[in-house]
Amino acid sequence: MSTTAVAEKKGALHWLDRNFENIFMVSGLLSIILFISWQVIYRYIITKFIDRAGAAVWTEELSRYIFIWISYMAVSVAIRKRSSIRVDMLYDRLPPRLQNISWIVAESLFLCLTAVIAWFGWGQIERLLQFPQYTTALNMPYLVPYLILPLGFGLMCLRLLQSLGKQAKVCGLGDTLVGLCMAALIVSPCFIFDYIEPLKALFGYFVLLCLIGVPIAIALGLSTLATIIAADTLPIEYMAQVAFTSIDSFPIMAIPFFIAAGVFMGAGGLSHRLLSLADEIVGGLYGGIGLTAIVTCMFFGAISGSGPATVAAIGALTIPAMIERGYDKYFSAALVAAAGTVGVMIPPSNPFVVYGISAQVSIGDLFISGIIPGIMTGLVLMGYCYFYSRKRGWRGEQKTRTARTMGRAFWDAKWALMVPVIVLGGIYGGIMTPTEAAAIAALYGLLVGVFIYSEMDARVVIESCIESCETSAIIIVLMAMATLFGNIMTIEDVPGTVARAILSFTESKFAVLLLINVLLLIVGTFMEALAAIVILTPILLPVVTGVGVSPLHFGVIMVVNLAIGFVTPPVGVNLFVASGVAKAKLEKIAGMVMPIIGLMLMVLLICTYFPQVPLCLVGGK
């Protein structure tokens, strides 16, 4: 074989190595968006014209299995990019050498978890080969979807080994061995002691793993694995089974669809048009560009459902503009970071989807209940921006604003403004489920970006699909591992024990809600909102229902509370995004955001103690 042929072969293998998961992710995401959209079209259009058309039940079943495949494929990409939800408080304070060693420890432990699930996942395949089972709609062997367990987790093992190899080169042989020994030391109690009490193993390992920088989802899975080994609470094979069944859920699929809708609309030119509209509405007042940023964040939040995504999309446009017009850099970054929290209150909202699944509460009712808190937060931020800017003489851009210019801005943004109408109208009109509405929104966003705004070519579509899958996979794996963690807690009656302990201390509804709010505020300072929801919902829900708080109301309290965590140091994700956009020191932005946090706490207290305020649109349920 010639040198050129060898080089071409190596180049092809390198391309495949870098893009293997991407092929599955892009084709899979586009497929399930089309399948679920077809399901809605088929139900309301095709069946009207064709007698005995039946139902397109195969679309939901096939979409669920593709969704599981692309979610676990995307984890491999997240491993390669080291993008995950983790607690970095201790890591950020370590010297560079210990930071490098910590990656050896974290990825070695991660490898243990993926290897166990891959191994016992293959055991599932062997059982399905021996005793074949078939799916309901497609009559497809269950063997096919379950192959993701050995293949997907096996691929994660490969990516972790590759990452460890690169990290070993950075650390050197000595520090690599130190890291591996530390990992072995961490797991050794499970094998040295015959028995460790389940709760000590579960929570002890979880706290330890989080502190050393292991991603929260993996810390949940590893602490469950350690408890199974140390206390023999469940069969170890159960982990592989639950890794599949816990996300084999139609409602969970709303998460990647909503994320994709936001990414498609952002990449397709949505942000500029919404910004122009907001500028027409409030841009001429004191603090005009700041007010514009807040209103635009509210608009964009009604599409993306993500706080950090809102800050990234709108902050990249508004923060430099505010600085250019003389606004304080740190005020600008803090304001946009706080405005991004509205993105998780105003529907659609990924935290509400996660809470609804965890607490078995109507996602539609949660969406509606988030509207008033979201608007209240936006108005409070606008008031603060106006008076702060007026005191310093910061005016908006002085230009002619008339009914005609506002009408033109509305017209330019009309396609973007249709997304909330489609989502909420479809859900509350009884036309679509939240998952179907999310799929339609994603398809709509894709079509608008490609054919109407014409700002998305094939490369942008591919990049947007990959970004959507990566972002949603981190959430999906978190939910899968939290299910394992939660099952151990249920066996040990942790929720009941916590509820009895708090209610024995006080049965005052006022005091219980105050204690829980303080707990959630503390948790929000070091844990990402979605992780906190999946971990704390099964623990705290029995407590609040015990004092007469409805699960729907508690969902609002939890999401509004944890939304504040997006701007609370030291782990305020929105602060990190705003800091990167503004190229400003995080600690100075954190200082500027403190008065804003105080105002947001006022909104939280109103939503907590006056449930009729957030629940007024759902009849005060």
Domain boundaries, the chain: 21-30+67-245, 252-456+492-618
Question: What would the two tokens of residue 306 be?
Answer: 């993500």
Kindly give the residue spans of alpha helices, DSSP state H, lying in 509-585.
509-524, 529-546, 551-564, 573-582
% of residues, the chain, pLDDT over 90: 36
Determine how many CB atoms are found less than 10 A away from the CB of residue 135: 16
What are the φ and ψ backbone dihedral angles of 141, each rounded to 5 degrees?
Answer: -60, 130
**What is the reported pLDDT for 13?**
59
Integer Cα distance of 498 and 501 in angstroms: 5
**What is the reported pLDDT for 55?**
55
Integer Cα distance of 412 and 270 in angstroms: 10
**What is the reported pLDDT for 460?**
92
> What are 129-179's pLDDT values in tens digits?
999 999 988 899 999 999 999 999 999 999 999 999 999 999 999 999 999
Given pLDDT bands bounded at 50, 70 and 90, which one contains residue 621? Answer: low
Among 500, 608, 494, which residue's Cα sits nearest to residue 561? Answer: 608
Average pLDDT, the chain: 85
Under a CB-based contact definition with an 8 Å cutoff, are residues 183 and 109 in contact? yes
Kindly give the residue spans of alpha helices, DSSP state H, lying in 305-370.
307-324, 329-339, 350-359, 363-369
Under a CB-based contact definition with an 8 Å cutoff, are residues 369 and 611 in contact? no
**What is the reported pLDDT for 103?**
93
Query: Taking each helix axis from N to C terminus, what angle separates 371-392 and 551-564, rounded to the nearest 10 degrees?
Result: 30
Query: Helix or strand or coil: residue 542?
Result: helix
% of residues, the chain, pLDDT over 70: 92
Given pLDDT bands bounded at 50, 70 and 90, which one contains residue 412? Answer: confident
Among 162, 575, 513, which residue's Cα sits nearest to residue 334? Answer: 575
> What are 197-241's pLDDT values in tens digits?
988 998 899 889 988 888 888 898 999 999 999 988 889 998 999
Question: What would the two tokens of residue 606 be?
Answer: 């109103």
Q: Is the pLDDT of residue 242 over 80?
A: yes
Query: Helix or strand or coil: residue 141?
Result: strand
Specify the amino acid at residue 115: A
User: With 0-12 CB in 10 A as exposed, 13-18 as middle and 19+ as buried, what is 542?
Assistant: middle
Question: What would the two tokens of residue 477 be?
Answer: 């794996």
Residues 6+ apart with CB under 8 A from 230: 189, 190, 193, 195, 196, 198, 201
What are the φ and ψ backbone dihedral angles of 54, each rounded to 5 degrees?
Answer: 75, -160
What's the rounded mean pLDDT across residues 351-380? 91
Under a CB-based contact definition with an 8 Å cutoff, are residues 168 and 176 in contact? yes
Under a CB-based contact definition with an 8 Å cutoff, are residues 354 and 590 in contact? no
The DSSP code for 449 is I
Integer Cα distance of 342 and 295 in angstroms: 10
**What is the reported pLDDT for 530?**
77
Q: Is the pLDDT of residue 409 over 70?
A: yes
Global model pTM greater than 0.75: yes
> What are 38-66's pLDDT values in tens digits?
988 887 777 666 655 455 678 889 999 99
**What is the reported pLDDT for 292?**
84
What's the rounded mean pLDDT across residues 581-601? 86
What are the φ and ψ backbone dihedral angles of 455, each rounded to 5 degrees?
Answer: -110, 10
Under a CB-based contact definition with an 8 Å cutoff, are residues 603 and 375 in contact? no
Specify the amino acid at residue 55: A
Query: Helix or strand or coil: residue 444?
Result: helix
Residues 152-190, buried b or exposed e (16+ Cβ, 10 A)?
bbbbbbebbeebbeebbeebeeebbebbbebbeebbeeb
Under a CB-based contact definition with an 8 Å cutoff, are residues 333 and 300 in contact? no
Specify the amino acid at residue 595: P
Q: Is the pLDDT of residue 16 over 70?
A: no
**What is the reported pLDDT for 577?**
75
